[in-house]
Amino acid sequence: MTTYIALLRGINVSGHHKIKMVELKQLFINLGFENVITYIQSGNVIFESSEKNNSKVEEQIVEQVKKEFGHTIKVLVITKENLLTIFTSNLFLKDETIDTKALYVILLKENYNIEGIELIEPYITNNEELEIVGNCAYINYPGGAGNSKLTINIIEKKLQTVATSRNWRTITKLVELSNQ
């Protein structure tokens, strides 16, 4: 069995695409996944599956959410090992003075347009910092993510990919929960 983390994008945000976590957990159980754990309302699900293909798992989740809730959403599924790599690869953590409350990770679907990175640069303002490592954009928003021009929509558009964002606290908690 492989431990996966599904990151659903855009559910329960500003009253859109509402899905109760108990219903989301049941959806994953109905799909045959095991040891299902949800974390907060933003669509984080840890589970186990015998399926070895992340893309197939993503497709199953997207189709079932559409069928049961009528929502067309984006889902990124990563393995526990991927999550640990994301956690240990954050270059900003080398600076002990950095406020981890200002750190975010934007997970990028594979095969993003690498040439689009320079198109993102004009959106980096307010002393923000961006580091892309593999399929993750690590962002330090010292002025707050809500005040930034560097949004997930900009990143998706410029890199021509699917992406989802989590704050560092959520990433840390997902690591903890996936190790239980």
pLDDT tens track for 46-105: 999 999 999 999 999 999 999 999 888 889 999 999 999 999 999 999 999 999 999 999
Helix (H) / strand (E) containing 76: strand 74-79
3-state helix, strand, coil in the chain (%, to 5): 40, 25, 30
Average pLDDT score over residue span 168-176: 96
Q: Helix, strand or coil for residue 64?
A: helix
Cα angle 170-104-11, degrees, rounded to a multiple of 5: 60
Say if 2-82 and 89-178 have the same CATH topology: yes
CATH fold label, 89-178: Alpha-Beta Plaits (3.30.70)
Asked if residues 87 and 136 have their Cβ atoms less than 8 Å apart, the reply is: no
**pLDDT tier at 14, thresholds 50, 70, 90:** low
Sequence ranges of the domains in the chain: 2-82, 89-178
pLDDT of 40 > 60? The answer is yes
The percent of residues above 90 in pLDDT, for the chain, comes to 79
d(CA 180, CA 173): 11
In CATH terms, 2-82 corresponds, of 3.30.70.1280, 3.40.50.2000, 1.10.540.10, 3.40.50.170, to: 3.30.70.1280
Contact 114, 162 (CB under 8 A): no
Tens-place pLDDT, residues 153-171: 999 999 999 999 999 999 9
Report pTM. Answer: 0.91
